[in-house]
Amino acid sequence: MAESVRVICRCRPLNKREVNLNSQICVQMDQSCGQVILQGETGCPKQFTFDGVYYMDATAEQIYNEIVYPLVENVIQGYNGTIFAYGQTGSGKTYSMQGNDNISSQKGIIPRAFEHIFEATATTDDAKFLVHASYLEIYNEEVHDLLGTNHTKKLEIKEHSERGIYVAGLSMHVCHDYKACQRLMKEGSENRHVGATLMNKDSSRSHSIFTVYVEVALNNGSIRTGKLNLVDLAGSERQAKTGTTGDRFKEATKINLSLSALGNVISAFVDGKSKHIPYRDSKLTRLLKDSLGGNMKTIMLACISPSSDNYDETLSTLRYANRAKNIKNKPKINEDPKDALLREYQEEIQRLKAMIQGDNNMHTNSNELDEEREQLKAEFNAAINELRLQYQNEQKSKAKLQEEYAALKEQYEKASEALEYDHHLDVGEAKKRLQILEKQFVGGEQANNEALKEQRQIKMKEAEKKMERLAANI
């Protein structure tokens, strides 16, 4: 079933620069009906209606509980979700997403999502979870791994029929709790490109995407996987206002080009005339392909300034946000995916337990090992032949064939490594490996905490009621 991208708008207070300029406030909001009123120096005010509006005194806690909470619940159930902040430089995007950890009510959307995920896993008694994370940036149209050993290495964006859009070589990090996610966020953010401009002393010079992957093993044996993309976009800039020169100016040019490409993607959906959506015009739009018109549940947070000095930029942001409401996605639960890391762990755990129970029969003889090698090789060759037949019969593109071949080869190499590893493992090593694997899983730590379970149910119901009230008033 199709659903629209949900769009909310947040207006920050006047900053010091705007106060010093004696800027007038040109933005008003009516939260009861989700309306933003933008008043220019002349003419009638312009009005926009969104799924939620939050004025200067609104907290990140309020935004999260009312709008974001249901989306993160869906991710835990096996959906894919994206939250991205959009707006001019200095409009409060990074603050909204990351916030201030030192003040509880000012923690941003990202740390609240971390807390939420591990609160949910802890109170679940009928499933086990594997949670891991990645963190990348798009800087000058190059994708870098903010948590990798080499932060300057360029990574390639790939597309697979089952995996969808992904970044080859992006490092994954297992997370056992909220603090582990926070540490990764802090480590990656320190590697991110930032720089001072006249508009913002800590201006993000890159787009960043922190992704949390949640794999769920239910008691009935089925596996579900969800992922949450937490996107902090660099802001659109006007050189006359930001005063950028040299490298800052080059960065701004790349930022504006990628944001323009994002705007073109949004416009292509709204216009409805073109069947072609220009995802490939930038790295950003390629990575957001599944979020805009794909299989994700998506929230766009439009961040604006209340200052009359920024009227044009605010109007531009509101217009893009208004168009984004018309994008339709088709979210679906990801059930029993072939590439689930959790399934690999489960299979390895079963093998290790069988080996330990056998104890004295840990090592297969060389003939049995050779037979297993040959069987594995035969299965791989059969899969390759089937792929060739599909290519001939269905006229798949050469690029698609190469992608699927690479995936099959990766599976074969992993299986071969596991076979060799198991053959040379002794009981002590098997027990150590088993302990390491079992520690990767989380879930059920607070299964008997009825108060916490009830609190989660109340939050979900309150968020649903909020949306029902808003829908009735629009």
The pLDDT value given to residue 362: 46
Q: Are strands 35-38 and 27-30 parallel, antiparallel or unpaired?
A: antiparallel
CA end-to-end distance (rounded Å), the chain: 23
pTM tops 0.85, yes or no:
no
The annotation status of 242 as a binding-site residue, yes or no, is no
Nearest Cα to 8, choosing from 55, 44, 46? 55
Average pLDDT of the chain? Answer: 84
> Mean of the pLDDT values across residues 83-90?
92
- Residue of 454 and 205 predicted with greater confidence: 454
Element (H, E) at 267: helix 246-271
The pLDDT value given to residue 240: 46
Write the single-letter amino acid at 298: T
CA atoms of 308 and 302, how far apart (whole Å): 17
Given a cut of 70, whether residue 239 has pLDDT beyond it is no
CB of 215 closer than 8 Å to CB of 129: yes
CB of 404 closer than 8 Å to CB of 387: yes
Q: Which of 78-92, 183-197, 435-449 has the lowest mean pLDDT?
A: 183-197
- DSSP codes, 290-329: TTSSSSEEEEEEEEE--BGGGHHHHHHHHHHHHHHTT-EE
Q: Which residues contact 385 (CB under 8 A, 6 or more apart)?
A: none
The pLDDT value given to residue 250: 74
The annotation status of 42 as a binding-site residue, yes or no, is no
> Mean of the pLDDT values across residues 106-124?
95
Q: Give domain 3-329's CATH number out of 3.40.50.450, 3.40.850.10, 2.40.180.10, 3.30.1060.10.
A: 3.40.850.10
Signed CA dihedral, 386, 389, 391, 395: sign only: negative
* Alpha-carbon distances of 424 from 253, 317, 372, 377, 383, rounded to whole Å: 55, 60, 14, 20, 28
Q: 80 φ, ψ to 5°?
A: -100, 140
Q: Which of 65-74, 196-205, 225-234 has the lowest mean pLDDT?
A: 196-205
The annotation status of 93 as a binding-site residue, yes or no, is yes
Given a cut of 60, whether residue 360 has pLDDT beyond it is no
Given a cut of 90, whether residue 184 has pLDDT beyond it is yes
Residue 179's CB: how many other CB atoms inside 10 A? 11
Given a cut of 80, whether residue 380 has pLDDT beyond it is no
Write the single-letter amino acid at 448: N
Given a cut of 50, whether residue 473 has pLDDT beyond it is yes
Signed CA dihedral, 427, 429, 431, 437: sign only: negative
Q: Which of 59-68, 164-173, 267-276, 382-391 has the lowest mean pLDDT?
A: 382-391
Given a cut of 70, whether residue 247 has pLDDT beyond it is no
Of 19-23, 39-43, 72-76, 375-379, give the range with the top mean pLDDT: 72-76
pLDDT level of residue 374 (50, 70, 90 thresholds): confident
CA atoms of 391 and 74, how far apart (whole Å): 36
Both structure tokens of 77 = 């159930």
Of 81-85, 161-165, 354-358, 431-435, give the range with the top mean pLDDT: 81-85
Per-residue b or e along 21-31, where b marks 16 or more CB atoms closer than 10 Å to that residue's CB: eebeebbbbee
CA atoms of 14 and 26, how far apart (whole Å): 11
The annotation status of 375 as a binding-site residue, yes or no, is no
Given a cut of 70, whether residue 433 has pLDDT beyond it is no
CA atoms of 275 and 259, how far apart (whole Å): 21
Is residue 160 packed enough to be buried (19+ CB in 10 Å), middle (13-18) or exposed (0-12)?
A: middle
The pLDDT value given to residue 424: 53
Given a cut of 80, whether residue 74 has pLDDT beyond it is yes
Q: Are strands 223-232 and 80-86 parallel, antiparallel or unpaired?
A: parallel
> Mean of the pLDDT values across residues 38-51?
93
The pLDDT value given to residue 18: 92
> Mean of the pLDDT values across residues 184-193?
90
CB of 65 closer than 8 Å to CB of 463: yes
Rg of the chain, C-alpha, whole Å: 25
**Length reported for the chain:** 474
Signed CA dihedral, 175, 176, 181, 186: sign only: negative
The pLDDT value given to residue 404: 72
What confidence tens digit (pLDDT) does each residue in 314-351 have? Answer: 999 999 999 999 999 999 999 877 767 777 777 777 77
What confidence tens digit (pLDDT) does each residue in 1-32 have? Answer: 789 999 999 999 999 989 998 999 999 999 99
The annotation status of 350 as a binding-site residue, yes or no, is no
> Mean of the pLDDT values across residues 242-271?
78
CA 474 from centroid of its chain's CA atoms: 30
The annotation status of 397 as a binding-site residue, yes or no, is no
What confidence tens digit (pLDDT) does each residue in 271-323 have? Answer: 766 678 999 999 999 999 999 999 999 999 999 999 999 999 999 999 999 99
The annotation status of 89 as a binding-site residue, yes or no, is yes
Domain with CATH 3.40.850.10 in the chain: 3-329
The annotation status of 88 as a binding-site residue, yes or no, is yes
Of 223-237, 247-261, 308-322, 388-402, give the range with the top mean pLDDT: 308-322
Q: Which of 210-214, 343-347, 349-353, 391-395 has the lowest mean pLDDT?
A: 391-395
